[in-house]
Amino acid sequence: MGRGRGHASLILSHQDSHGVCAVQGETTTVAPRTRPPLSPRPRCLTRCGYTWPPARDAGQPFNEGEMMASKRNARGAQPAYSMPELSELYGRPPYEYRDTRQLLVTFRTDPKVLRKLVPAPLVPDKSGHMFVAISEFFTSGFGHYHEINMSALATFKGRPVNYGLYLILDNDIATAGGREIWGFPKKMGRVALETSDGVMRGTVERGGIVLVEAAMQLKTFGSAADVGGSAEYVSRKLIPSVSNGAPPEVFQLTSTTLTNIVVREVHKGPATLRFGLSPADRFADIPVEEVTGGFYYRTDFTLEDGVVVHDYLA
């Protein structure tokens, strides 16, 4: 299949006439984001001996989505960015990804199924286009890990985005950080990416069940345009209340756009995709009606912080 709506990527910035196509070996330019005004000082932080806004180094930009506060104590130390405070699990974005290996399989599902899975105000792709990306990551902050990202093509206020439906990975730091910062729907599992006899193959397993089997033949070389897709990722961030019966503490759509993208060594060829049956991880609820493309490539990019684009509690 040629370039078009069936092709979406974990990192690129082209989708039909809505985006700008990344050029192989070059980086993309992302427009500055408009941020909401700074929140007033939370009373709870004042009572607990914290200052608001949090202290920060000179010249360091403030991220209003962070509840980093500077605790008043003898040493003037700041609390950790994440728990536990004694040894934080992860630091603040951005995270730099280098020499990522990625298997990308694009496919089409039943549009009726997709409409049930993609929440308003997002609008799912009318033809049911989706993708799975099975990756091996090397990154600052999170370290080395494998991950599958299953996303649906959608639009938000007319612009193309990727809506993450399911991510499974094998790294607790990246799992917790992805859920707590951006709201990525992540679970722990086993993910493998390997090549044999000219075939690149990715598998995903949880609970002793193979949930995803994706493969593509390394048949010909391609270009960055072959793996074009929106660089913007939208997630539904949900944090329940500690009290039963109370509304969620956080219920919003967040957005982050990958930057500093470089693509190398693109391969393309025929591909296959299969979802396994599991009572706990319902990948098989999404039918694979047509596989539209298979690609393998290497890439670098930066995972930035994000913004809230819709608050369901407001």
Q: Which amino acid is at 207?
A: G
Q: Of the residues 112, 186, 219, 268, which is catalytic?
A: 186
Pairwise CA distance, residues 62 & 26, whole Å: 29
Q: Are 81 and 66 in contact (CB under 8 A)?
A: yes
CA angle 18–229–303, rounded 5-degree value: 110
Residue 152 structure tokens: 């649906």
| Short-list 63, 258, 249, 236, CA closest to 156 | 236
Q: Are 102 and 298 in contact (CB under 8 A)?
A: yes
187 flagged as catalytic: no
* Rg, the chain, Cα only: 20
Provide the annotated active-site residues: 186
